[in-house]
Amino acid sequence: MEPIVYDGTCPACLRGEPNLCVQFGFLGLMGGGGGLAEYAVVPAGRAHVLPEGVSTETAALVEPLAVAWHAVRRGGLTEGGSVAVVGAGPIGLGLLLAAKAQGAGFVAVSEIDAARRELALGLGADLAVDPTEQDAAAEVLARVPGGVDAAFEASGAGRAAVDTLLAVVRKGGRAVTVAQGGTAELDPTALMVNEIVYTGSFAYDATDFPAVITALADGRLREESLTALVTDRIPLDRADEDGYRELLARGGAHVKILVRADAADAADSAASGA
């Protein structure tokens, strides 16, 4: 189910870009009622049929993967292209998976947390760098002389992250900001003489949800890779204490906490280690 809310009539919606709707909202956050519930009412076109064999747990991760899928498209990635990702949180790891699924030949990840670097390598990253111990840009350029085709900012770290982005992207490449947080300075002359396109990516358009579901169906996205992003599973009635408050207290220990609408299912999953 796509949780974004849009009017369907503005110029952006008519272009197939509901993420840029003038009335944009998000179920549970900005219009459309709450999202933490057993049921939600949405227009039929925003509900998608799952391919056979894809679990509802995996389906819960289609939405963040759609965010990443859209960003990779914004980066103009072509088959065999090279990518750098700054930040290996939920969206950064999603960018890694989406880039590989869309044909990337090389993906580097810069991340300060050791566990997330290990997870990135396990999910297919070709290089994982600790920017507090290594020169991330130098490490990437040693592997991809001249720079990567597309670089993505998914950390929200502001200027330092943007500086890394522009240091690793090749001339004629694309730099994409996906995360929110911090401010940065840009040198428009450097963008001009190197013909670097710096752009943003927000949510997803009308094609991205179906594209992610298709990639799950044809194996370009593996179900086990998506569920590897889930670091805890909790029942609906514990969403506040074990979800939001847990993330505030120990966010670095998690990637995604999955809220199960059926408490019995959540208990069964926890007991089985699923």
Q: What is the pLDDT of residues 194-233, one digit of tens each?
A: 999 999 999 999 999 999 999 999 999 999 999 899 999 9
Whether the predicted pLDDT of 269 surpasses 50: no
State residue 36's pLDDT score.
81
pLDDT at 183: 82
Domains of the chain, earliest start first = 1-47 (no CATH), 63-200 (3.40.50.720), 229-272 (no CATH)
Tens digit of each residue's pLDDT (9 = 90 or more) over 171-189: 999 999 998 777 888 899 9
Q: Which of 93, 111, 95 is nearest to 157 (CA)?
A: 111
- Name the nearest CA neighbour of 179 among 104, 248, 113, 88: 88
Q: Which residue has the higher pLDDT, 86 or 2?
A: 86
Whether residue 268 is predicted with pLDDT greater than 70 in this model: the reply is no
Q: What is the mean pLDDT of residues 36-56?
A: 87
**What separation in angstroms does the CA of 47 have from each of 3, 39, 50, 203?**
9, 12, 10, 17
Residue 109's closest CA among 165, 166, 160, 64? 165
47-59 mean pLDDT: 89
What letter would DSSP give residue 148?
A: E
Counting every residue written for the chain, the total comes to: 274
pLDDT in tens, 79-135: 999 999 999 999 999 999 999 999 999 999 999 999 999 999 999 999 999 999 999
Q: Is the dihedral of CA 114, 115, 121, 123 positive or negative?
A: negative
More confident residue, 41 or 143: 143
Residue 267 above 50 pLDDT? no
Q: Which residues pair with 175 in a beta bridge?
A: 151, 198
